[in-house]
Structure 1
Amino acid sequence: MKEIHRLVDSHDATDLAALIKAGEIQASELLEVCIERVEKVNPELNAVAEKLYDAARNTPPEEGPFSGIPTMVKDLFAPLKEARSTNGSLALGEARLGIDDSTVSRLRAAGCNFIGTTTSPEFGASYSTESQRFGATRNPWNTAHSAGGSSGGSAALVAARAIPFAHGNDGGGSIRVPASCCGIFGLKPSRGRVPSGPLVGEGWGGMGSAHALTLSVRDSAALLDVVAGEDLGAPYAAPAQAVPFADLLKQPVRPLRIALVEQIAPFSSSPDALNAVRSTAALCESLGHTVTPAQLPIDLEAFLNSAFNVIGASTRSYLDLVGQMRGTPVTDPELEVNTRIILREKGGISAVDYVKSIEMFHTLGRVMANFMLDYDVILTPTLTREPPLIGDLVMKDENASLEEFIHLSHSYSPFTALFNATGQPAMSVPLYWTPEGLPLGSHFAGRFADEATLFALALQLEQARPWAQKIPTVNACL
């Protein structure tokens, strides 16, 4: 078992799957090793929502590209048939839907072995994974800090080398923010690239998209090959990818035109965030790309007002459904302060205001498509400062205004949600650590349906400035 531990210390999921296929390690042994590793780090990280060890032991993995690779699914609008579906809330009790999310079913068909679910904040509406249901999920680089949100549990376990990769989803930055906080790679695919069924047509007006938190770029590309493509009855889908993303990584990277956006009003980026993004810009230039300072053609405050119209109305609709299913309405005492504030100010908007907000998203998508006629990629900070301390992004006063909540959250992450609304693919790449040893990711967005360019650039950056050898303080390594 020690030898397998050492392999997990240094190998990504692609390597481990190849070793299983070659008979050099056994899937059952890797399963026990990953369970042991999760048990080692979780007391400090608090990243596991539900353990499914026995179910994993009793379910032989299917044959596929990731056959026998242990992983976890984020407990947020992504049901796993063996698990509770709490969405980070006390209001859901012990609800078990008994079905797989479409993305989960594709991961299962690829051979993944699910050993549990990971923590999220209530309904995903926070950039820090803290909830009354599960408590605070802590950053493996420094446990006084947050692992980010809302896929913080997945990010923390992958960064700590407990599991090779984990499922996440992203409605406003929820893959990219924790990837930045935890020093790993996280890509949000284009709208419609990955299925959202069978229960959801579009999350948050089309802002939501699922994928994974990974150590390596090639794992992310190979996993997207596994899960991409519309599901039955999907309202829309991104254009089909003719060549697998994993194969495209073998091609050389062409010189790219990169727009460098350091700040967006009304929020400012800290000196650490500016150092991080400028360092990445210099690295890109050294690799032959052209980097040009730019400003995004976006009114951020107007956008955020529309985004919370959609989030508030969607949350109200969902809670009404929960009340119908369980036979009693969901009441305020069951909900956290963040959720109460959003529902109070945006849960009862008119249908006209909702439609106007969706139309703003579509307008923004067209504006950004025109902006990107001059650029291949946009580079911004993922976050405006280092990972927050535990509690810093949690609203405590339910009488506070939504404006105060938006300022608290989006002064920290002003860039990520824009690309959920436009549907563009975007990624956080771990290229910088602060003098205090905390990671700060660099955020890239590409043209709609052009994940291939982002993957190619990310691989080039990974080769130029490797991050896999950077191990956080809390880790599962021998």
Structure 2
Amino acid sequence: MRDVLRLDAVGQALAIKNGQMSARELVEAAIAAIEARDGELNAVVFRRFERALAEIDSIPADAPFAGVPILLKDLGWRQVGEPYAAGSAIRDGLEVAEDGYGVARLREAGFVVLGRTNTPEFGTTITTEPVAFGPTRNPYDPAYSAGGSSGGSAAAVAAGMVALATASDGGGSIRVPASLCGLVGLKPSRGRVSLGPALGEGWSGFSCPGFVTRTVRDTAAALDVVSGFHPGDPYDAPALPGPLTAEVGRDPGRLRIGYLTTHPRGDVPEVPELTEAVTGAAALLESLGHDVEPGGPEALGDLEFPVHFGAIVANNLAAQVAGLGELRGKPIELEELEPRNAAMVSVARTHSAVDHIRATQWMDAFRRRMATWWRAGHDLLLMPSLGVAPFPLGWITPDDLSLAFGRTGHAVSYTSPVNATGQPAISLPLHRTEAGLPVGVQLVAATGREDLLIRVAAQIEQARPFEHPAMEPLA
């Protein structure tokens, strides 16, 4: 039974259906793994083991993932009757009224929810070190960050507690932890997965739900479960040609791929480990028959982008904080927030409604400028998943807020523009530093082309299978 946790979720589901193990045995093995491995990592902040075990017998046997354990990120992915903190002590006592649409679909598919994973306060940074719950550590080196905001989910999957976990991405929060923990992380197209019923959009459309997994087929299968428009959603992603699982193993054809090893803005320092990762991936793609050449969208070099992106995120955070104050019946004071978030809310309160609309209109134009590169005949853009090298805990969160915001800005320089455009992007674990820390590379497709990303990612995975050395077997 110890080896069962090395299977991906699709493999675990097949093993249950073939009678190689029972759903209860699998769930008990995952619980044992969390209990054995999470003490140092601090990935799982809320556990529901007894309730999970009690739910197993009521799962329909024909559900596609009947009995497969999963963890939910404690940001979005609301589950009725369960704690929901979003990385903050401020939400203590505020109840969840109903399941999110994505959680409902996961449960209908037979997944067994074992708990909720750590996230930074309100998901506003790319390292998981909330004051309320403490830091999540990287399974490859506990002195290092697992990334954020889906850091708890990524650490849990990389350490072998579960095969996959939910995530979300508003500025890189799927792709960054996937990169740092050696996983597959796909940010879907805007509107592919509903944020309802609690929300219509997150961060003015920047944020998208998704997963962190160890295999491409798990990413495809999980997205098939939760994807789909719900009446009232503000966006609807372009229709896919069919299930994403059908794209695994399908020939992507000969693609035209551009790649970047340095940021065209010119204000992001070049990092040797990232350059090595991208050039190695470019060579691999070329060996697979694709046309690969340097270059990317000219719009990526616009120096105004970080200003408008940061303003929109801050404005959304201020609105979220105001709403939480109404829910608890008492306004939230800045002193109750972590310093990073207090600073963002303080700045946002100086912005007018006109300022916010103007910033979103700037992003509309930016999105159209970015799209011209794909319309000109390019299929994919290859670039780093993270703008800095793997970093130790505390590096993104120094007391000097100016330094903290600067480092964060560099870290998300390759990811946040794709949140602004709403395009799908996938991080793949194709490189490691000399110290053995994972470094991911990112492929970006045109809006609605998750199918192409899955085809290419599966082709890459077959040519160079992903390894997961952080998954130590249980004693």
What TM-score does the superposition give when structure 1 sets the normalisation length? Answer: 0.95
Q: Cα RMSD between the aligned structures?
A: 1.4
How far off its partner does 1:346 sit? 2.4
Aligned to 2:372: 370
How far off its partner does 1:395 sit? 4.0
How far off its partner does 1:477 sit? 4.3
Q: Does 1:394 align with 2:397?
A: yes
Q: In the alignment, is the contact (CA less than 8 A) between 1:169 and 1:175 conserved in 2? A: yes
How far off its partner does 1:290 sit? 1.0
Aligned to 1:312: 314
Q: Does 1:54 align with 2:53?
A: no
Shift of the 318–384 alpha-carbon distance from structure 1 to 2, 3 Å rule, reads closer
Q: Any idea what the Cα deviations from partners look like across 1:313-348, whole Å, max 9, x if unmatched?
A: 111111111111111111122110110111122243
Moved more, 332-341 or 161-170: 332-341
User: After the TM superposition, which residues 32-111 of structure 1 pair with which residues of structure 2 at under 5 Å, given as runs?
Assistant: 32-60=28-56, 61-62=59-60, 63-111=62-110
Aligned to 1:213: 212
Report the secondary structure of 1:440's partner residue: strand
Alignment equivalent of 2:327, drawn from 325, 332, 345: 325
Q: Distance in 2 between matches of 1:14 and 1:80?
A: 23
Identity %: 37
How far off its partner does 1:173 sit? 0.5
User: After the TM superposition, which residues 283-322 of structure 1 pair with which residues of structure 2 at under 5 Å, given as runs?
Assistant: 283-298=284-299, 299-322=301-324
How far off its partner does 1:300 sit? 4.6
How far off its partner does 1:250 sit? 3.4
Aligned to 1:281: 282
Q: In the alignment, is the contact (CA less than 8 A) between 1:160 and 1:476 conserved in 2? A: no
Moved more, 127-136 or 303-312: 303-312
Number of residue pairs matched? 468
Tell me which amino acid in the other structure corresponds to 1:396: D
Q: Structure 2: where are the runs of 5+ without partners?
A: none
Q: Distance in 1 between matches of 2:241 and 2:284?
A: 30
Report the secondary structure of 1:198's partner residue: coil
Q: In the alignment, is the contact (CA less than 8 A) between 2:8 and 2:214 conserved in 1? A: yes
Shift of the 435–24 alpha-carbon distance from structure 1 to 2, 3 Å rule, reads same
Q: Structure 1: where are the runs of 5+ without partners?
A: none
How far off its partner does 1:301 sit? 3.5
Aligned to 2:429: 430
Q: Distance in 1 between matches of 2:76 and 2:221?
A: 23
Aligned to 1:131: 130
Tell me which amino acid in the other structure corresponds to 2:13: A
Aligned to 1:267: 268
How far off its partner does 1:476 sit? 4.8
4+ runs deviating over 6 angstroms: none
Report the secondary structure of 2:116's partner residue: strand
Tell me which amino acid in the other structure corresponds to 1:20: I
How far off its partner does 1:396 sit? 1.7
Alignment equivalent of 1:8, drawn from 2, 5, 13: 5
Tell me which amino acid in the other structure corresponds to 2:351: I
How far off its partner does 1:253 sit? 2.2
What TM-score does the superposition give when structure 2 sets the normalisation length? Answer: 0.96
Q: In the alignment, is the contact (CA less than 8 A) between 2:217 and 2:458 conserved in 1? A: yes
Tell me which amino acid in the other structure corresponds to 2:138: N
Q: Distance in 1 between matches of 2:161 and 2:21?
A: 17
Moved more, 293-302 or 197-206: 293-302
Tell me which amino acid in the other structure corresponds to 2:412: S
Aligned to 2:406: 407
Shift of the 159–260 alpha-carbon distance from structure 1 to 2, 3 Å rule, reads same
Q: In the alignment, is the contact (CA less than 8 A) between 1:176 and 1:382 conserved in 2? A: yes
Q: Any idea what the Cα deviations from partners look like across 1:54-112, whole Å, max 9, x if unmatched?
A: 11011133442111110110001221113211110121113221421111111111111
Q: Any idea what the Cα deviations from partners look like across 1:6-43, whole Å, max 9, x if unmatched?
A: 1222x111011011122221001101000000111101
Alignment equivalent of 2:358, drawn from 353, 356, 368: 356
